[in-house]
Amino acid sequence: MANKGELVCVTGASGCIGSWLVSLLLHRGYSINAAVKDLNDETETKHLQALEGAQTRLRLFQLDLLDYSSIAAAVHGCSGVFHLASPCIVDEVHEPEKELLDPAVKGTINVLTAAKEAGVGRVVVTSSISSIAPNPNWPSDVAMNEDGWTDLDYCKQKKLWYPMSKTLAEKAAWEFAKEKGLDVVVVNPGTVMGPIISPKLNASMIMLLRLLQGCTETYLDFFIGSVHFKDVALAHILVYENKSASGRHLCLEALSHYGDLAAKVAELYPEFKLPSLPRDTQPGLLRANNAAKKLIDMGLQFIPMEQIIKDSVESLKSKGFLT
């Protein structure tokens, strides 16, 4: 393979997206320094070591986003870095600075600094649609796109610490790239679901599980569309390998309302007797099928919502989260 032997670092490798990315990178012939939080925790390591190609081309590193030396060790010798590691807490946050903001922002700067020091060619930063929305001032007649930024004042007012952490971290990444001359590209995924490789659920899969269990929350400030784990992993590889890729890349199969997802889940799985939710759960959010045009133009064919839901629910069943 063309990429055989090329060494890249993946931070947050044990998570739901990270596991998929590591799997696809191994399949493409890359060698990987996979950074996880705790090498002694089998729920972070075992599923990665079981991946095809891992025995010969995967090395595990323990990483603390606030410990520069641990990051520098994982990045050393790599030609590229995929920075996925960032705390994700969308429920109750007791200490926003400590739990979310510092690890997200300072962690990103530490990773970029280590990458610059190591002479890394390109860093792909995993941001989120949470750095694009919520934005109450976005015009209702324009589909959300990469020009939008989350309203930080709105986040403070509503105590939306996760969108704030992703927004501040991405802005810090762009500022660093400009000042230090580092090649950075960003992927902004929507609500990421699908078959789970990791034994732990991400926030998006927990959201789906809650819906199936009868939760009536409409995730007003957290949902603008869904995307498959595989497509998010492919998007990272596409923007890494396509040297003309630049800037931000909205990554979702379509701009949609949470009510659209809930209605499709109810249609596909009537046995769960889901609560009836309004379809227009995000007032002012314009639906659009080609919101991820930059990635579509690179050749990414997004898996549709129906298949994302089917893959997600079957995975929740097979892993014992649903009976």
Residue 37 catalytic?
A: no
**Distance (Å) of CA 60 to CA 39, 56, 86, 223, 237:** 7, 12, 18, 33, 20
For the chain, what is the mean pLDDT?
93
The model's confidence at residue 89, banded by pLDDT at 50, 70 and 90, is low
Stronger pLDDT, 253 or 96, i.e. the higher one: 253
Residue ranges of domains in the chain, CATH in brackets: 7-319 (3.40.50.720)
* Amino acid 323: pLDDT: 81
Find out whether 84 and 11 touch, Cβ atoms under 8 Å.
yes
The model's confidence at residue 121, banded by pLDDT at 50, 70 and 90, is very high
* Amino acid 96: pLDDT: 72
The model's confidence at residue 1, banded by pLDDT at 50, 70 and 90, is very low
Q: How much is the average pLDDT of 121-136?
A: 95
Closest by CA position to 210, among listed 276, 274, 163: 274
Alpha-carbon distance of 21 to 32, in angstroms, equals 10
pLDDT in tens, 302-314: 999 999 999 999 9
Alpha-helical segments (H) within 181-279: 203-212, 229-241, 258-268
Find out whether 122 and 244 touch, Cβ atoms under 8 Å.
no
3 pLDDT higher than 80? no
Express as a percent the part of the chain with pLDDT over 70.
97
Alpha-carbon distance of 125 to 25, in angstroms, equals 16
The secondary structure of 41-89 as a DSSP string is -HHHHHHHHTSTTHHHHEEEEE--TT-HHHHHHHHTT-SEEEE------
Q: Which two tokens stand for residue 155?
A: 């986040």
Q: Read off the DSSP letter of residue 272.
A: G
- Per the residue annotation, which of 159, 166, 230, 294 is the catalytic one? 166
The model's confidence at residue 101, banded by pLDDT at 50, 70 and 90, is confident
* Amino acid 2: pLDDT: 46
End-to-end CA distance of the chain: 42
222 pLDDT higher than 60? yes
Stronger pLDDT, 273 or 58, i.e. the higher one: 58
91 pLDDT higher than 70? no
Q: How much is the average pLDDT of 171-196?
A: 97
pLDDT in tens, 197-220: 999 999 999 999 999 999 999 998
∠250-207-189 over CA atoms, to 5°? 10
Express as a percent the part of the chain with pLDDT over 90.
86
The model's confidence at residue 149, banded by pLDDT at 50, 70 and 90, is very high
Q: Which residue's structure tokens are 């580092």?
A: 182
